[in-house]
């Protein structure tokens, strides 16, 4: 009897994992925020994209394309709503032009201490629900938020040494539009809004002197340290929130099992990417501090200077919250979580 039950269980497990014969596999067409050569893009497409197919027994696949490959980086939200894309894995701050609430949800500059804290807010502290509320207004409930959170405390690249807040005076800084740009402006810099994919040429041509860029490993893989030899690590400011959304009609056509698998896939993928990027960052920083890379100096700001920068950022948060009712809600949601977690009194 035991052998019969064991065999029956094994057959049942295989049947559940195997694709239905003759069924048409679904492929989600998604645009990411990563450039094709970056560590994050390769990790997403080579390591994690195949896992969704495996998790669903081949019934659901995901095709992640690089940033700007199908639509401009700021237009993925509309593209998902209108069915041009099935979904995106994109930076929330790119939609700041629609509502200041996106700026506060996309990157609370100098707010959280670690990516884990901010992801906790996103996934368990009300952030996901707040982001859904913003999307419901601007897509007429056309998209569903699968998840959100940063995968790194982004490094900062510069062609000149920037060791203090005062050193920002007059420096041309690449920064996403919205809250980040406002914080840098208040710190004395001259922010320029350009996408990450154009950072290298902008630094090379002197259009900017420094850049709010990406994870240290992405900056390295895209060659930024060859021309911007004074990175700041750990970063002083940014943990860009990356969302995953899917068109609601596409979501509703998935089976319950596929919906569950996609939810679980995102959580595991985002956690894996965060941890993998952190490990690679630390390896590269150790190499560069030992003088074995292209970097001249890895700059680590003092706590005093970080606190000065954070004080500037707090003022910008408060002012951005006044820009719209949803921005105020996004601000309140962040502050409520930060107080609960002990980050603010």
Domains defined for the chain, CATH in brackets? 25-151+239-280 (3.40.190.170), 156-238+294-321 (3.40.190.170)
Given a cut of 70, whether residue 75 has pLDDT beyond it is yes
Task: Please give the average per-residue pLDDT across 189-203, as a whole number.
Answer: 89
Task: Please give the average per-residue pLDDT across 25-35, as a whole number.
Answer: 94
Tokens at 123, concatenated: 């996934």
Q: In what order do the strands lie in the sheet with 60-65?
A: 60-65, 26-32, 87-91, 242-247, 143-149
CA-to-CA distance for 121 and 268, rounded, in angstroms? 17
Task: Please give the average per-residue pLDDT across 340-345, as a whole number.
Answer: 84
Residue with tokens 């979904």: 87
Identify the band that residue 23 occupies on the pLDDT scale cut at 50, 70 and 90: low
Strands (E), the chain: 26-32, 60-65, 87-91, 143-149, 156-158, 172-174, 190-192, 210-212, 242-247
Residue with tokens 């948060």: 317
pLDDT attached to residue 133? 98
Higher pLDDT: 246 or 93? It is 246
- Assign 191 to helix, strand or coil: strand
CA-to-CA distance for 267 and 114, rounded, in angstroms? 17
pLDDT attached to residue 196? 76
pLDDT attached to residue 126? 95
CA-to-CA distance for 236 and 310, rounded, in angstroms? 9
Tokens at 133, concatenated: 């509320």
- Give 289-294's long-range contacts (Cβ < 8 A, gap of 24+): 293/220, 293/225, 294/225, 294/226, 294/229
CA-to-CA distance for 121 and 127, rounded, in angstroms? 5
Tens digits of residue pLDDT in 44-67: 999 999 999 999 999 999 999 999
- Assign 236 to helix, strand or coil: coil
Out of 12-16, 83-87, 185-189, 308-312, pick the least confident.
12-16
Sign of dihedral through CA atoms 56, 57, 63, 64? Answer: positive
Task: Please give the average per-residue pLDDT across 232-242, as a whole number.
Answer: 89
Cβ atoms of 177 and 196 closer than 8 Å = no
Residue with tokens 């679904």: 26
pLDDT attached to residue 17? 43
Higher pLDDT: 13 or 176? It is 176
pLDDT attached to residue 274? 93
Higher pLDDT: 21 or 296? It is 296
CA-to-CA distance for 95 and 212, rounded, in angstroms? 17
Task: Please give the average per-residue pLDDT across 238-250, as a whole number.
Answer: 95
Given a cut of 90, whether residue 243 has pLDDT beyond it is yes
Give the angle 78-81-83 at the CA atoms, nearest 5°.
105
pLDDT attached to residue 52? 97
Given a cut of 90, whether residue 26 has pLDDT beyond it is yes
Q: DSSP states of 79-99 as a string? A: HHHTTSSSEEEEEGGGGTTT-
CA-to-CA distance for 61 and 23, rounded, in angstroms? 13
pTM given for the model = 0.83
Tens digits of residue pLDDT in 101-123: 999 999 888 888 889 999 999 99
Cross-strand partners of 246? 87, 144
Radius of gyration of the chain (CA): 21
Tens digits of residue pLDDT in 146-185: 999 998 888 899 999 999 999 999 999 998 777 888 999 9
Mean pLDDT computed over every residue of the chain:
90
Q: Distance between alpha carbon 5 and the CA centroid of its chain, in Å?
A: 46
């Amino acid at each position: 009897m035991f052998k019969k039950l064991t065999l029956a269980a094994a057959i049942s497990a295989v049947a559940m994992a195997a694709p239905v014969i003759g069924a048409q596999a679904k492929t989600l067409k998604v645009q990411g925020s990563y450039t094709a050569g970056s560590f994050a893009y390769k990790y997403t497409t080579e390591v994690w994209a195949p896992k969704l197919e495996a998790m669903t027994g081949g019934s659901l696949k995901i095709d992640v394309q690089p940033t700007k490959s199908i639509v401009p980086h700021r237009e993925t939200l509309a593209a998902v709503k209108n069915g041009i894309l099935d979904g995106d894995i994109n930076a929330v701050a790119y939609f700041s032009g629609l509502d200041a609430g996106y700026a506060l949800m996309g990157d609370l500059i100098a707010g959280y201490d670690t990516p884990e804290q901010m992801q906790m807010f996103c996934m368990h502290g009300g952030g996901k629900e707040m982001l859904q509320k913003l999307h419901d207004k601007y897509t007429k409930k056309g998209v569903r938020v699968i998840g959100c959170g940063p995968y790194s405390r982004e490094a900062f690249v510069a062609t000149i040494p920037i060791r203090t807040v005062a050193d920002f005076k007059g420096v041309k800084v690449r920064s996403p539009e919205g809250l980040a740009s406002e914080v840098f402006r208040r710190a004395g810099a001259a922010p320029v809004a350009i996408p990450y994919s154009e950072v290298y040429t902008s630094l090379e041509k002197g259009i900017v002197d420094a850049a709010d860029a990406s994870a240290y490993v992405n900056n390295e893989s895209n060659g930024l340290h060859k021309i911007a030899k004074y990175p700041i690590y750990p970063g002083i400011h940014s943990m860009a929130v990356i969302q995953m959304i899917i068109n609601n009609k596409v979501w509703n056509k998935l089976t319950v099992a596929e919906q569950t698998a996609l939810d679980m896939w995102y959580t595991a993928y985002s956690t894996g990417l965060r941890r993998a990027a952190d490990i690679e960052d630390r390896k590269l920083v150790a190499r560069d501090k030992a003088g074995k890379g292209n970097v001249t100096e890895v700059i680590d700001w003092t706590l005093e200077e970080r606190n000065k920068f954070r004080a500037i950022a707090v003022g910008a948060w408060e002012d951005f919250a006044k820009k719209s009712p949803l921005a105020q809600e996004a601000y309140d949601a962040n502050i409520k979580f930060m107080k609960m977690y002990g980050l603010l009194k």
